[in-house]
Amino acid sequence: MIDSLLVALSETVAEIAETMLFVEVGVGPLQIQGDPCAADVSAVVGYSGGLNGGLRLGGSLAAALRVGGALLGELRDAWDQEFEDAFGEMANMIAGGVQTRVEGALGSIAMTPPMVVQGRNHQVSGRHSSKWLCRHFEMDGVAFFCEIYFVVPE
């Protein structure tokens, strides 16, 4: 399951970057298990059904401003409600792309609306029995990441 989630995640991020943001995104390191990635801004979308868990888009404030700004088509130095909404929408689009790519193998997957969390160097964790992976990306020299956490069916 991890391999199919990784492929779905990488394809989705690349597709959104190319077709909606008109930027190239570089693929960085991969973490599987271990400590959750730390961020200053996170947007989390929950999954239920064929995939139980969620997706988290995260990074520094500079990364969140860059990712949100790419969607809005403008760059700013300050965070506001419009950027929070854009960052949450990016997480929603990435989560939806992963959902579409893995539903055929895993069954119908429902998603929650995105929730944005802010706080210097925070982590987000799920159930202790969850598996997770974290793929790092880079856009215009700014690093961000996407985590997928999930419960493995018995």
- The rounded mean pLDDT for the chain is 91
**Gyration radius of the chain over CA positions:** 14
pTM above 0.85, yes or no: yes
pLDDT attached to residue 122: 82
DSSP 17: I
d(CA 126, CA 51): 14
Find the mean pLDDT for residues 92-103: 97
CA angle, corner 103, sides to 101 and 106, nearest 5? 125
pLDDT attached to residue 36: 76
Find the mean pLDDT for residues 59-72: 92
d(CA 55, CA 150): 9
d(CA 114, CA 55): 9
Find the mean pLDDT for residues 92-105: 97
pLDDT above 80 for 8: yes
* Res. 128 pLDDT band, cuts 50 70 90: low
Domain spans, the chain:
2-151
Higher pLDDT, 154 or 8: 8
Find the mean pLDDT for residues 90-100: 97
* Res. 94 pLDDT band, cuts 50 70 90: very high
Strand partners, 25: 139
Find the mean pLDDT for residues 13-37: 89
pLDDT attached to residue 154: 58
Which percentage of the chain shows pLDDT scores above 90?
A: 69
8 phi and psi angles, rounded to 5 deg = -60, -40
d(CA 31, CA 47): 20
- CATH number 3.40.1550.10 given to 2-151: yes
